[in-house]
Amino acid sequence: MNMQKAVGRREVLRRIGLAGAAVPVVGLLGAACTDTERTTRAPRVRATPASGANAAAPANGVPIVATQSAVDLPYLPVPEMFPPIDRDEPGIVQVYLEVQEVEAKLADGVGYKYWTFNGTVPGPMFRARVGDQVEVTLSNPADSGVGHNVDFHSVTGEGGGAELSRVSPGEVKSFRFKALKPGVYIYHCAVAPVDLHISNGMYGLMVVEPEGGLPPVDHEFYVCQGDIYTKGGTGEPGMQTFDMERMWDERPTYVVFNGAVGSLTGERALRAKVGESVRIFFGVGGPNLSSSFHVIGEIFDRVATWGSFTSLAEDVQTVTVAPGGATMVEFTLEVPGTFVLVDHSLSRLTKGAAGHLIVEGPEAPDIYTAI
Ligand SMILES: [Cu+2]
């Protein structure tokens, strides 16, 4: 293998804050990847001088053009996740959404102004039971820049509620729908340009539980994937702004879980113990890229393919999730380790599509061991 290329990829991962996260993945990439585009692009993501001075020395023949100083912003808060439904009868569920524009960390040294529901990306994971009446209220503050709305894929009705919830700055609107079908559903803003509103962070999940609910598990996790399009290249420091041309070309600079590079690593990693059962609700806001969702080193015991609880697939390695789609995967943890959540379109790893499930507990050499 060409060492120059391997070093280049590692450097890219380091710059976007995933070097430690992705050690096992770098090996995968190195074995399989021969594209030159990656190596020619690598110099563009080298950190620029903190002074913001222009025209650094060429690296690998490609001049570094410094544009901005690095910014040090916190991540958006972890999105809220409502607990399982504890009712045997249909009821009324009230869902409150507030538009919040928030500047936060997109990657190390990189900031972005997100458009959010309730200040997180994704927005809250709401839950209802099939047969429930769901009352949705959307509030758009007076100082908001533009109008917004919400289209729930769990709605049976025109626009999924988009017109009934359309709010100009300073407005509040509500609508009600009956949750007719159980499943895992995306919701998203649907104001034109819809792809812009989604890319900026306006999406989330609603789980409509079947009669009798879902079986209890030890841990439930909530993860959504999205693609983000910035004027600066991947990892280029500073406050980055949205790039419409890139989005129309479907060439994201970032492909992320829960809104930012590394937002499911370190202190924000998913955690569980050997012997426990986990359930991940996984959605794709997009706006453009499908996900090949995979957990490296694990096999899903059950998958709600396309988000449907009606017929669960069993013993699945990777599940395809479309933009505007979602799934639920369940598995039991047999061995300890760091299990990396990825979109198995692995070139997206260097754009941020990785998270960690850290499992602690006793080794199980009958299942996995060095010999
Ligand atoms: Cu919007």
pLDDT in tens, 193-202: 999 999 999 9
- Tokens found for residue 108: 């190390």
Cα 129 → chain centroid = 25
How far away, in angstroms, is 168 Cα from ligand 1 center?
10
Give 269 Cα–ligand 1 centroid separation in angstroms.
Answer: 28
* Share above pLDDT 90 across residues of the chain, in percent, rounded to a whole number: 81
pLDDT digits (tens, 9 = 90+) for 46-56: 333 333 333 33
Task: Report all structural domains of the chain as residue ranges with CATH numbers, in order of start.
Answer: 92-209 (2.60.40.420)
The answer for residues whose C-beta is within 8 angstroms of residue 215's C-beta and 6 or more apart is none
Q: Is the pLDDT confidence value at 43 over 50? A: no
Instruction: Give the global pTM.
Output: 0.85
Residue 136: predicted pLDDT:
98
CA 242–ligand 1 middle distance (angstroms): 14
Q: How is residue 58 written in tokens?
A: 């060429």
Q: What is the pLDDT of residue 105?
A: 98
Per residue in 350-367, pLDDT tens?
999 999 999 999 999 999
pLDDT band at 14 (very low <50, low <70, confident <90, very high): low
pLDDT cut 70: percent of the chain above it:
82
pLDDT tens digits along 212-271: 999 999 999 999 999 999 999 999 999 999 999 999 999 999 999 999 999 999 999 999
Q: What spacing in Å lies between the alpha carbon of 96 and ligand 1's midpoint?
A: 15
pLDDT digits (tens, 9 = 90+) for 93-133: 999 999 999 999 999 999 999 999 999 999 999 999 999 99
- Distance between CA atoms of 31 and 219, rounded to whole angstroms? 34
What pLDDT digit, counting tens, does each position of 123-166 carry?
999 999 999 999 999 999 999 989 999 999 999 999 999 999 99
H or E element: which one contains 224? strand 219-228
Do 242 and 229 touch, CB atoms closer than 8 A?
A: yes
68 pLDDT tier (thresholds 50, 70, 90): confident
**Mean of pLDDT over the chain:** 87
60 CA distance to ligand 1 centroid (A)?
Answer: 41
